[in-house]
Amino acid sequence: MIPVILSGGSGTRLWPLSRESHPKQFLPLTGGSKSLLQSTVERIVGFPGARAPLVVCNEEHRFLVAEQLRQLDVQPEAILLEPVGRNTAPAVALAALAQPDPDSLLLVMPADHVIPNVAAFHAALSAGLELASMGRLVTFGVVPQSAHTGYGYIRADRAAASESATLQGPGFPVLKFVEKPDLATAESYLAAGDYFWNSGMFLFKAATYLEELEQHAPDILKACREALEGQQRDRDFVRLDAEAFTACRSDSVDYAVMERTDKAMVVPLDAGWSDVGSWDSLWEVGDQDAEGNVLTGDVLTEGVRNTYIHAQQRLVAAVGLQDLVIVETGDAVLVMDKYRTQDVKQIVARLRQAGRAEAQTHRCVARPWGTYECIDGAERFQVKRITVKPGEKLSLQMHHHRAEHWVVVRGTARITRGEEVFVLSENESTYIPLGVKHRLENPGRIPLELIEVQSGAYLGEDDIVRFEDTYGRAK
């Protein structure tokens, strides 16, 4: 069984923590130090017969995925890079086409789910494996705990399962998939007892999925096959033919296949599942105190009830509040009614429309070599804190519009400046004139930290001309 982890989402409803360049699957949102992606990988690594995971992600996030897997000491089967997002049906098609054995079983999992009861999850997987081996397309239906209006539903045909000897076990044929309902409809589903929340997780043979895709969405299969045929490999990364994949239609596994096939089966899953798709869902799965509050970071409260407060960089104090969400980061503060968390995406849309960086990046930006954080800036200057991981180096580059001053505050830096190569230690500095080729390396065993002061007429990140790059970014 090959775990196929889908890591292409942007998580806009969890802004300002989740942003396009560093979305929610790469964040430790539920306590502890592990991200949602890392928790997803750990959840399946110990399952008998599970092979190395195959991850499908946005090309921009490739080094985030690789680094987080490295921290777990997990070597992936491959990391498939999508040049553009095309939803789940093409992503799963790529994973299926990449398998040399068409009878390989694929366990498709989004990278951003929370499943506290791993034993119950494994039990559901065992039940699904039997059905998938018989040529069924298995989905996992979460046993509903409430009349939730934020999830789609799956209606199971319990009667057909009990009457058919070939469908023995906990799985049921799928009668229909239902879009997110209103409250009254959701309450009727809960009372009926044959509806499950749609988890978006699947288990099937690669060949079975491709056969059904050929029947119901042949254009998607054709585009994905052409995109994979034009692939290029770079380390563990598989780069698709961008033109072929961009031409692919966007569609989900549900719409393209599961709602049309007669082979769909649903296996109940009762494991505390949540897709943590909004701030109220994080409040639901969080560790609530006696007043029903979930508090993360440096937070003081007085007379606060049923509220979620996340402080990232500063003290947050709250008095006399209830049913709110308050999230503080280095460059943004979100305050909202806990029952309107779906509307955060409207704020993100307005930020994008205005061209504001807060929709795209955090103040601290991850790079394959480390991080940089904007500390201060105004017209014609900007100050950054740069951290370079041991053994890593930035590209050999040049800027047309800015000069840079570097001050080493921790570790050792090897500097290339024009034809010079020299080493700086703590409390030493250098100047990089405008238009001069330069490079920064960390030859040491501890992280290199330095302060960079930029000055010039234009300080945007696109004023970088790369001549050499370890990570394939040079033009």
Residues 278 and 255: their CA atoms lie apart, in Å, by 23
Which of 33, 21, 12 has the alpha carbon at shortest distance from 278?
12
For β-strands 370-378 and 308-311, DSSP reports them as unpaired
The whole-angstrom separation of Cα 228 and Cα 240 is 6
Can you list the residues of the chain whose pLDDT is less than 70?
Answer: 160-169, 475
Specify whether 244 is located in the same domain as 304: no
For residue 170, the model assigns a pLDDT of: 78
- Amino acid in the structure at residue 77: E
The verdict on 252 and 308 lying in the same domain is no
Q: What is the pLDDT of residue 166?
A: 44
CATH number at residue 386: 2.60.120.10
Does a structural domain hold residue 25?
yes
Place of tokens 């119901």: 216
The CATH code of the domain that includes 259 is 3.90.550.10
Q: Helix (H) and strand (E) counts for the chain?
A: 12, 28
Question: How many structural domains is the chain composed of?
Answer: 3
Q: Which domain holds residue 434?
A: 364-468
Phi, psi (5° rounding) for residue 330?
-65, -25
Together in a domain, 238 and 213: yes
Helix axes 36-45, 62-71, angle to 10 degrees: 50
At residue 168, the pLDDT reads 45
Would you state the pLDDT for residue 30?
84
CA distance 237 to 376: 35
Q: Is residue 196 within 8 Å of 141, Cβ to Cβ?
A: yes
On whether both 104 and 204 belong to a single domain, the answer is yes
pTM of the model: 0.88
> Do 96 and 161 lie in a common domain?
yes
Per DSSP, helices labelled H in 98-152 are 118-133
The confidence score (pLDDT) of residue 162 equals: 52
Same domain, 138 and 247: yes
Of 269, 291, 307, the residue that ends a domain is 269
What pLDDT does residue 366 have? 86
